[in-house]
Copies of this chain bind each other. A is one copy, B any other.
Amino acid sequence: MEREGKGGFTLVARDGEARRGRLLTRHGAVDTPAFMPVGSKGAVKAMAPDELWTLGYRLILANAYHLNQRPGEQLVRELGGLHRFMGWRGALLTDSGGYQTLSLAKLTSIGENGVLLRSHIDGKQVELTPEGVAAMQRALGVDIMMTLDECAPYPASAEQVLRSVELTTRWAERSLEVERGCGQAMFAIVQGGVYPHLRKLSARQLTALPFEGFAVGGLAVGEPKAQMLDTAALAGELLPQDRPRYLMGVGTPQDLLAAIALGYDLFDCVLPTRNARNGSAFTCRGAISVKRARYARDPMPLDEACSCRPCRSFSRAYLRHLYLSGEILAARALTEHNLFFYGRLMSQARAAIASGAYQAFWRAWLGRMGESAGERE
């Protein structure tokens, strides 16, 4: 089965709801399901771009708001666009900055025209409008632009979330009016909090518009895990089969496997990179923290089953020593390991879908890793 969809997306195989796809961009093809490492400021923390490529990543995420604040999208454009600026030969997706209206909520006011916030760098007032953030992303030259959305906090009343859904739709319509560069795709973001009827409303409104893909936003913002997955399931069902589906900000390896089973194609999360800098490594038997005294004399690699560069070179004892000594190499090694882990999880998931064995693959992983993302040992 190969079904050519819109916006360069091809469904290669299905297994239940799980999808094996291929997303074509001007900067190469991206096999899905795919996890995007987060490089908000134009760099994935502790990693070099050639290392991300070697790990198999072909699509990474940056943030339009952050890059607008520093160094400014016009500077990036003058220097040849974000790909060239970063030295990254793969594809790029930028989040619009809508999520910052939540994470910097104390600083914002939201109106029909857009979002007002105070710069996290110099305190100056910044207005983000649907047209403005689309223009930023055009200037950055990214492959996939995200519309400005309003991400309601959790918890929020149904009235508040309804207003956020309708505003997000009006902003999405305005975003479509903005001129784009050659080959730039634009994804809209379904909101609706944890209210099924509002998720349905948001999905119905947005999927009526000609976007190349759809994201589900406003999850993983504090709601219970079960509610996150129920809402992701519901929202996923409402999205068209022929376009990519991006579950924003998710998540743990367990979350990714569940979301793939629901039919999601793209993911991003700071967990593998941020946890690495905090000394935590994902392994196929659960997470381990190299801070722990139990690893002081442990000659084993982070994960016995791992063939990443750090696992071929470094013991837990050495990584613990580096971490306690504040050495940059600790952050580097754990980040590379965690991104190798996430990359391998996704490539194995793609292979399992292609061979119709996703459920068995998923069960086997959970059997080894445990059902939750917490540390096992």
Contact = CB atoms under 8 A, between A and B. Distances in A.
A317 interface: yes
Given A86-B318, A332-B48, A327 B43 contact: yes
A297 B71 CA distance: 9
A204 interface: no
A75 B324 CA distance: 15
B43 A317 contact: no
Most buried by B among A47, A50, A327: A327
A198 to B, nearest CB: 36
A329 B321 CA distance: 21
Interface string A42-74: 110111111000000000000000000011000
A330 to B, nearest CB: 8
A288 B299 CA distance: 42
Most buried by B among A43, A50, A85, A296: A43
Nearest to A328: B46
Given A49-B313, A79-B315, A315-B85, A71 B321 contact: yes
Q: How many copies does the complex hold?
A: 2
A149 B252 CA distance: 53
A269 interface: no
A215 B360 CA distance: 64
A331 interface: yes
A326 to B, nearest CB: 9
B318 A79 contact: yes
A87 B43 contact: no
Contacts of A322: 41-43
A296 B321 CA distance: 37
A353 B312 CA distance: 39
A223 interface: no
Contacts of A329: 43, 45-48
Contacts of A86: 318
Interface of A: 41-43, 45-50, 70-71, 75, 78-80, 85-87, 296-297, 299, 309, 313-315, 317-318, 320-322, 324-325, 327-329, 331-333
Given A49-B313, A328-B331, 7 more contacts: A45-B329, A47-B329, A50-B313, A70-B324, A79-B315, A85-B317, A85-B321
